[in-house]
Amino acid sequence: MSGSSTIQGKLQQVQEGDYLLWNGRTSPQPVATVDDDSFVVEGRQGGRYRFYTTGIPKLTNLTSQNEFDVDELTVLRPISSIDQ
C-alpha cells in the first residue's frame, strides 16, 4: 500500500491556493479552504469536492454526496513570488 501512503502524505501537505489533479483529471482545480482534517476543492463547472486528510485517501462530491477513493493525486503549488 505504498501508493496510498504516498497519496496520504500529499493530502496532509495541501495548502489553500494549491491546485490538484486527481484520478485522471487533466485540468487542475484550486483548493479553496483547508481545515484540520479535510480541504475543499472548487471544480471548474461549479462542483465542490471535500478531500479527507486522515484515514483512507478519499473525497466526497459535495453536490451528489458520492464518495470516491483517491487513486492518483498531483499537487501543484503556484509560485507566489520570485526572489531577485
pLDDT in tens, 40-70: 999 888 899 999 999 999 999 999 999 999 9
Domain presence at residue 6:
yes
Residue 81 within any structural domain of the chain: no
Q: Which of 5-9, 31-35, 66-70 has the lowest mean pLDDT?
A: 5-9
In a domain, 82, yes or no: no
- Mean predicted lDDT score pLDDT of the chain: 89
Closest to 39 (Cα-Cα) out of 22, 51, 56, 57: 51
- For residue 38, is it within any domain? yes
Which of 3, 1, 43, 47 minimizes the C-alpha distance to 20?
A: 43
Q: Tell me, what amino acid is at 4?
A: S
Q: How many domains does the chain have?
A: 1
Q: Residue 49 sits in which domain range?
A: 2-76
- 83: pLDDT confidence band, cut at 50, 70 and 90? very low
